[in-house]
Structure 1
């Protein structure tokens, strides 16, 4: 079952990559892509979450623009395409597609009915919005972009939320972090970790800013957080 078809709430369908755990039923986990589509990095992450015991599903959130995007962060042309897709992406529709994906995985016979989300970069922003706008049971953001412009939605968060922030994130400058980090630190359902000296995508294996020690620390915190809240 490498792919499933998900029905969008406003019509149409889109594809999602699925990885199954060794034992079912198991909690579900929506894995939210970066700006490079459902590429090998995201498929490997989805597989790794399945290995941790989740029915892991990674939807194609760019389907409304261009279905099946699968590019890397290795060339300038791919970066340009990724930023073009990011510029065309409708965040509100994206959240609705993620909620449809959440509903889909909860409805799968292999799923216990509990389900959360974890997202990276653009996906980190969307995981924050899943915490604010959906009934997802737990949500994790890795270096989410644009949270400073949506911090007024933090009051709607009622389920556990974990945010990994890169101190020297080139896409989330200090003035942006100053707007959302203190708010989340005071939120009773939120946990924030700031990774000193790290840049954007420090957990992307093979990426320019990959840092194994920080990635291992963040991933361990995510593993414990999900186990505590979805298990």
Structure 2
């Protein structure tokens, strides 16, 4: 069952709209699905539905609610891709991770779910990393997270499991950035890195031209096993 909910901000100054998918029966845990720069579109809603089918409460917050509430974009349409880049330039990830913390608190408090994880994509992948360094989330997964290499000074704060999926041909996260991430985390006890040779940014999208079926299934299988184990 899916619905739209309003999650109070930490400072109680507003509410964050979010798409919520409920499982049948008592949730095994909760997964925050953090969108790409395209909003809570059909692909993100499908990811929420997939988690609900597995028995988890899944919520996708509208990360652009402050200036473009309700936007849904298609990355395969050039004009909409350009619109998404504009929102990315406006976005403050520091506000975003505070919204993720508000969502964690709401899930534990209002929804009564003790264990909370997240899976984020693109900009959402960066926020998944920030959730691992700045919140008490139980586990985080980031797909093709952008700008993580610029935030490695926060790595010391990672206390819970973190998994990052890195396509080696990501045209937004180049070889130097990937090398920096590996240098920081290859020997980190809490971090698991997976490289996907020859794949590009967005390979695990639920639909559209960017999806690589084999790569998406491999990454999503790893994510599922990782979060299920972490949220048990």
1:7: which partner in 2? Answer: 8
Superposed displacement of residue 182, structure 1: 2.2
Q: Give me the whole-angstrom Cα distance separating, in 2, the residues matched to 1:3 and 1:113.
A: 21
| Alignment counterpart, residue 59 of structure 2, candidates 57, 60, 77 | 57
Unpaired segments ≥5 residues, structure 1: none
Superposed displacement of residue 60, structure 1: 0.5
Q: Give me the whole-angstrom Cα distance separating, in 2, the residues matched to 1:214 and 1:182.
A: 24
Moved more, 119-128 or 61-70: 61-70
Q: Give me the whole-angstrom Cα distance separating, in 2, the residues matched to 1:182 and 1:23.
A: 43
1:204 aligns with 2:205: yes
Is residue 47–residue 206 contact of structure 2 (8 Å, CA) maintained in 1? no
Superposed displacement of residue 112, structure 1: 3.1
TM-score (norm 2): 0.96
**SS of match in other structure, 1:6:** strand
Superposed displacement of residue 219, structure 1: 0.6
Moved more, 113-122 or 175-184: 175-184
Q: Deviations over 1:28-81 (max 9, x none)?
A: 111100000001010011111111221100000101111111111121110111
Superposed displacement of residue 12, structure 1: 1.0
The verdict on how the C-alpha distance between 1:53 and 1:120 changes in structure 2, with shifts beyond 3 A counting, is same
TM-score (norm 1): 0.96
- Output aligned runs, 1:180-219, within 5 Å: 180-219=181-220
Structure 1 stretches (4+) deviating beyond 6 angstroms?
none
Q: Give me the whole-angstrom Cα distance separating, in 1, the residues matched to 2:110 and 2:167.
A: 35
Moved more, 203-212 or 169-178: 203-212
1:99 aligns with 2:96: no
**SS of match in other structure, 2:160:** coil
1:67 aligns with 2:98: no
1:30: which partner in 2? Answer: 32
**SS of match in other structure, 1:57:** strand
What is the total number of aligned residue pairs between the two structures?
230
| Alignment counterpart, residue 79 of structure 2, candidates 61, 77, 84 | 77
Q: Give me the whole-angstrom Cα distance separating, in 2, the residues matched to 1:151 and 1:207.
A: 32
